[in-house]
Structure formats: C-alpha cells, structure tokens
Amino acid sequence: FIATFSSMFFLLFFDRLASHGILVNTWQVDLAKRQMVRSSSGCKYLEQHDYSSTLYRLKERPPSPKERELLSLIDKIVEKSKEEK
C-alpha cells in the first residue's frame, strides 16, 4: 500500500496521468477496491469518495503554484516520453 503525505498532490498526479491516457479512467475505483492508499494520518484507506470529492474541490479553484509546478512537470515528462518513442 501507499501512505500519502499529501493526498492532494497524489490525486493530482494520478488524475493528470489519466488525462494523458496513461492510466485508465477507473483508477479511483481500482485503488479504492484494492485498498492501495492510506490517508496521510495513516488511520484509514482512502475510498473512491475520498478521491472524487478531493479532486472536485481541487478543480473548483485555481491551482496553487506548487500544484501548477507538479502538473507542468508531469506534462513535460509525458511529452518527453512520447518524443522518445
């Protein structure tokens, strides 16, 4: 399992990979069913509702500078990997 230090960055990472077609769109359900990710407190496994509600809140506001930096980095890595194929 994965213990997240910040579920927001973790979710942004996975969501961005899905938007590039690298992950299937059901990644939230898949991770929840397999109990793959623990909350940052370590007290519980994240459920699909946790993923979707956090992503909804994140998308309702402009990304922070750190979030923009992460998304930009993911985009650059994905584009570079496509160029190398």
CA distance 52 to 58: 10
pLDDT at 38: 85
Q: What is the pTM of this model?
A: 0.83
Tens of each residue's pLDDT in the chain, 85 residues: 555 557 788 889 999 999 999 999 999 999 999 998 888 787 889 899 999 998 999 899 999 999 999 999 999 999 999 898 7
Would you give the end-to-end CA distance of the chain in angstroms? 31
pLDDT at 40: 77
Surface-to-core class of residue 15, CB atoms within 10 Å of its CB (0-12 exposed, 13-18 middle, 19+ buried): buried
